[in-house]
């Protein structure tokens, strides 16, 4: 857990390149706690990520309340889910149900603000509800396609891919809502977030968070985990035993 937290904080700060959107950083380092969650279990991945993101935030913007509201909470949930699903045996029924849940998470993250405040969202983005629905459908199809391809081509990573999409989706929702809520209550002219963020930014923050993390988790996680299994075979045995329970 300590190694996970340290790597996450340092690598995250070195690889965000200072690129942010409404306070949310570009984040390829998401793959690190995903790997730890698979190798050592959901608590190690979740708590390691929570501690690591807090340390990184203190190095970056220095606002502990913002970190707790948006970063610590989302990271714990995100990587706990990835670790949990990676240790499950998903038969066809469970796999389909999990894939449907993954799609629902993506759609909810995109559509909820649009459905709750359609006029405000349209006024800010210039996009009609029709186009938001289209974007949601495309995101849903892409997410399910990734899960299907990985399940068909690399069946051993089926649970990991489902957990990654669900975990990243839930985490992105927490980040988007957390940053928006913080901006309404604690914005400051001298602070990291200087003004309240419009509610219409919630789905945009969701898309940014999801899109800048999920590719790294899905593309780089499995190869690194495979190397770890070759170096430390007991980790694979332990995971197989956990999945059999």
| Three-state SS sequence of 196-243 | CCCCCHHHHHHHHHHHCCHHHHHHHHHHHHHHHHHHCHHHHHHHHHHH
Instruction: Say which DSSP state 197 is in.
Output: P
Distance from C-alpha of 40 to C-alpha of 229, rounded to nearest angstrom? 12
Distance from C-alpha of 166 to C-alpha of 174, rounded to nearest angstrom? 12
- Six-digit token pair at 141? 């199809």
- Six-digit token pair at 28? 């390829």
Of 175, 214, 213, the closest CA to residue 197 belongs to 175
CB distance 91 to 195 below 8 Å: no
pLDDT value at position 224?
95
CB distance 200 to 125 below 8 Å: yes
Would you call 35 helix, strand, or coil by DSSP? helix
Given a cut of 50, the residues of the chain with pLDDT beneath it are none
Cα 70 off chain centre by: 12
pLDDT value at position 132?
61
Question: What contacts 168, CB < 8 A, 6 or more positions away?
Answer: 30, 78, 209, 210, 213, 214, 217
Distance from C-alpha of 74 to C-alpha of 169, rounded to nearest angstrom? 10
pLDDT value at position 218?
87
């Amino acid at each position: 857990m300590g190694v996970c937290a340290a790597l996450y904080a340092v690598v995250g700060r070195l690889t965000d390149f200072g690129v942010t959107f409404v306070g949310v950083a570009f984040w390829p380092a998401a793959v690190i706690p995903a790997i730890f969650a698979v190798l050592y279990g959901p608590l190690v991945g979740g708590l390691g990520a929570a501690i690591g993101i807090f340390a990184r935030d203190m190095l970056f913007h220095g606002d502990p309340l913002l970190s707790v509201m948006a970063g610590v909470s989302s990271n714990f949930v995100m990587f706990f889910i990835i670790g949990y699903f990676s240790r499950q045996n998903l038969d066809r029924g469970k796999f389909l149900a999990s894939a449907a849940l993954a799609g629902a998470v993506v759609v909810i993250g995109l559509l909820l603000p649009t459905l709750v405040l359609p006029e405000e969202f349209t006024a800010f983005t210039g996009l009609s509800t029709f186009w938001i629905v289209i974007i949601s459908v495309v995101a849903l199809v892409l997410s399910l396609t990734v899960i299907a391809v990985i399940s068909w081509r690399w069946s051993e990573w089926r649970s990991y891919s489902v957990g990654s999409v669900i975990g990243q989706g839930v985490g992105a929702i927490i980040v988007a809502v957390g940053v928006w809520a913080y901006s309404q209550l604690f914005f400051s002219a001298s602070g990291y977030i200087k003004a309240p963020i419009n509610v219409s930014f919630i789905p945009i923050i969701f898309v940014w968070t999801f899109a800048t993390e999920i590719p790294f988790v899905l593309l780089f996680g499995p190869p690194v985990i495979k190397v770890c299994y070759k170096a430390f075979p007991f980790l694979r045995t332990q995971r197989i035993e956990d999945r059999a329970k």
